[in-house]
Amino acid sequence: EYDSLDGEPATLFFMIAAPDGANNTHIETLARLSQLLLDDDFKVALENAATADEVVDIINKAEAEKFSGEEKKEEAAETGNSQVSEDKPYIIAATACPTGIAHTYMAAEALKKAADEMGVKIKVETNGADGRKDVLTEDDIKKAKGVILAINRNIEVNRFNGKPLIQVEAKEGINNAKGLIQKVLDGQAPIFHASGSSEASEGSSSEKKGLYKHLLSGVSYMLPLVISGGILIALAFLVDTITGHANAGGGFGSTSYLAKLFMTVGKAAFGLFLPILGGYIAYSISERAALTPGLVAGLLASTPLVENGPVSGFIGALIGGFLAGYVVKFLVWAFKGLPKALNGLKMILFYPVFSVLITGSIMWLVINPIATQLNVWMNNGLGSMQGASAVLLGALLGGMMALDMGGPINKVAYVFGTGTLATTMTTGGSFSMAAVMAGGMVPPIAIAMASQLFKNKFTAQEREAGLTNYIMGLSFITEGAIPYAAADPTRVIPASVIGSAIAGALVGLFQIKIPAPHGGILVMALSNNFFLYLVSILLGSLVAAVILGILRKKVTE
């Protein structure tokens, strides 16, 4: 079970080996492979292959037939793009997904295949991890009967102003390519009217996500900095402890040369996370023009109002990012009446200067004083939590991580835990983050345990797949439990929530802290009590496994 698009178990597995320094080779390989796998004959041939040489021959042959043909088509398009066949309808499309690897190219291939079967000429622009390919020109847009956007992330759409346009998620582009093309041919695509900004968002489907979507955008860019910086800072303390400098007082973590190196680099990375959080929340709201004021807002959130005083931190950067994004939206509206001759000055002069001035002033005069006080109260409250209050908060955060496994509630708990690291990093991290990680590790481990302890309650396939959840759980990948939760939500989710809440409560009881927001067992050694942390997670997992085993019915194979 790999949570595939069609819900069916996976039968083909690929491993990619790339030479050193070939940074994009695996992306290009995945892109090509995802397109080839849309051909049923290709899949059947691979499944029936008896030897390794036969597999290689099948792939080489399919790749040569498909991509050499596409290169010829591209050459023909470049030399005779103006000669669009008059007897065939011409449609254009663009695809994009968050990772820019699989769905981007699968949707493009599905649209091309459907168009070919329907006798329709189509050009598809892919916005993948390796950049934009087959970029739609002004001439393409002008001649097209309509536009199909199969996207899950921001791309430039104002260029399609005045064209019939259908916008869906990349997944629908894969599953319903013919239906989308038919809608355009039947004139059912609404006319698209561009907004004032040069870059537009993912569209109507993503707008429904609102603030949540913008917040997650900022968090996704912020996380690598928190993870890398947090782990390096923790390693600095670990190195000084190992080298006998644990009693170095204020110099602890920077006494030995190696510790100082880790601390310096770690602080540099960690110091960027608030500006990046604010910048990319703003970017998600109003695109490129909002990035500058968002970065400034995040930097101001890490700047104390008085020397060596407290800062507004995570709360300030979060609010500042939203402020910057909507300030730019206001400026786009305010400047829309300017002569077209001044359009070039908007992005390079008007938007940056006015957005930074307005956002920065509001941050410094209004948001920072309020958010700083909130930050102080929150940190004091968390720092003073002992006994029952810490147990309750740990249980709440742990349970939230298992309630929807990767959904909004899970993300709220995770963002809260990550936010507490902003001011607790130099003291070993926070128990809130430790409770969040423990709660997220329990569901996959519990399923793995249950599948082995209660073998008569799981099919052979579920038992075999369940073993991989040990790795998923120990790596803090909660999503490993999703296929089981989706298939049996009334039993898996309650059991997981109870187990995760117990693990989180134990973390609060033992006051276990961790300085890294991700990594699972790989970073647990950085906690202040590895043994009790592991015991908390295993006890929570065992309770969840037993509950799940009791609730599930016996299966007959």
pLDDT in tens, 272-330: 989 999 999 999 888 888 999 999 999 999 888 877 777 888 888 999 999 999 999 99
Q: Across residues 359-386, what is the average pLDDT? A: 81
Q: Tell me if 266 sits within 8 A of 238, measured CB to CB.
A: no
Predicted confidence at residue 81, as pLDDT, reads: 44
CA–CA separation, 511 and 531 (whole Å): 13
pLDDT digit string, tens, across residues 329-341: 999 899 888 887 7
Share of the chain above pLDDT 70, in %: 86
How far is the C-alpha of 428 from the C-alpha of 526, rounded, in Å?
8
Overall average pLDDT of the 54-67 stretch: 84
Give yes or no for residue 72 having a pLDDT over 70: no
pLDDT digits (tens, 9 = 90+) for 147-171: 999 987 777 888 888 899 999 988 8
495 pLDDT more than 50: yes
Q: Which residue has the higher pLDDT, 139 or 18?
A: 139
Q: Span 515-539, mean pLDDT? A: 88
Q: Which of 478, 441, 447 minimizes the C-alpha distance to 465?
A: 447
User: Per residue in 523-545, is it b (16+ CB within 10 Å) or e — as a string?
Assistant: bbebbbbeebbbebbeebbbbbb
Residue 491 has pLDDT above 60, yes or no: yes
CB 379 within 8 A of CB 424: yes
- Indicate the range of 257-261, 396-400, 403-407 predicted with least confidence: 403-407
Pairwise CA distance, residues 26 & 452, whole Å: 35
Question: Between 466 and 102, whose confidence is greater?
Answer: 466
Instruction: Please state the rounded mean pLDDT for residues 402-428.
Output: 78
Report the distance separating Cα 482 and Cα 487, nearest Å. 8
What's residue 485's pLDDT?
A: 82
More confident residue, 381 or 225: 225
- Ordered by start, the domain boundaries in the chain are 67-207, 214-379, 387-551
In order, the DSSP letters of 421-482 are: TTTTGGGT-BHHHHHHHHHHHHHHHHHHHHHHH-GGGS-HHHHHHHHHHHHHHHTT-GGGGH
pTM of the model: 0.56
Q: What is the mean pLDDT of residues 503-521?
A: 89
Q: Phi first, then psi: what are they for 303, rounded to 5°?
A: -105, 120
pLDDT for the residue numbered 542: 96
Nearest to 33 by CA among 52, 60, 9: 60
In this predicted structure, the answer to whether residue 25 has a pLDDT above a threshold of 60 is yes
For residues 61-72, give the mean pLDDT: 70
How confident is residue 399, by pLDDT bands cut at 50, 70 and 90?
very high
pLDDT for res 203: 43
Per CATH, the number for 67-207 is 3.40.50.2300
What value does the mean pLDDT take over residues 407-434?
A: 80
pLDDT confidence of 78, banded at 50, 70, 90?
very low
- Residue 191, classed as helix, strand or coil, is strand
pLDDT at residue 69 is higher than 60: no
For residues 81-108, give the mean pLDDT. 74
Tell me the average pLDDT across 220-232.
82
445 and 469 Cβ atoms separated by less than 8 Å: yes
- 2-6, 237-241, 302-306: the lowest-pLDDT one: 2-6
pLDDT for the residue 83: 47
Q: What does the mean pLDDT of the chain come to? A: 83
Q: How far apart are CA 529 and CA 434, in angstroms?
A: 11
Q: What percent of the chain has pLDDT over 90?
A: 30
Of 210 and 415, more confident = 415
The catalytic residues are 97
Strand order in the sheet with 131-133: 131-133, 121-128, 90-96, 146-151, 165-168
More confident residue, 229 or 282: 282
- Sequence-ordered list of residues with C-beta below 8 angstroms from that of 524, at least 6 positions apart, any chain: 514, 530, 533, 534
* pLDDT tens string 203-213: 444 444 567 77
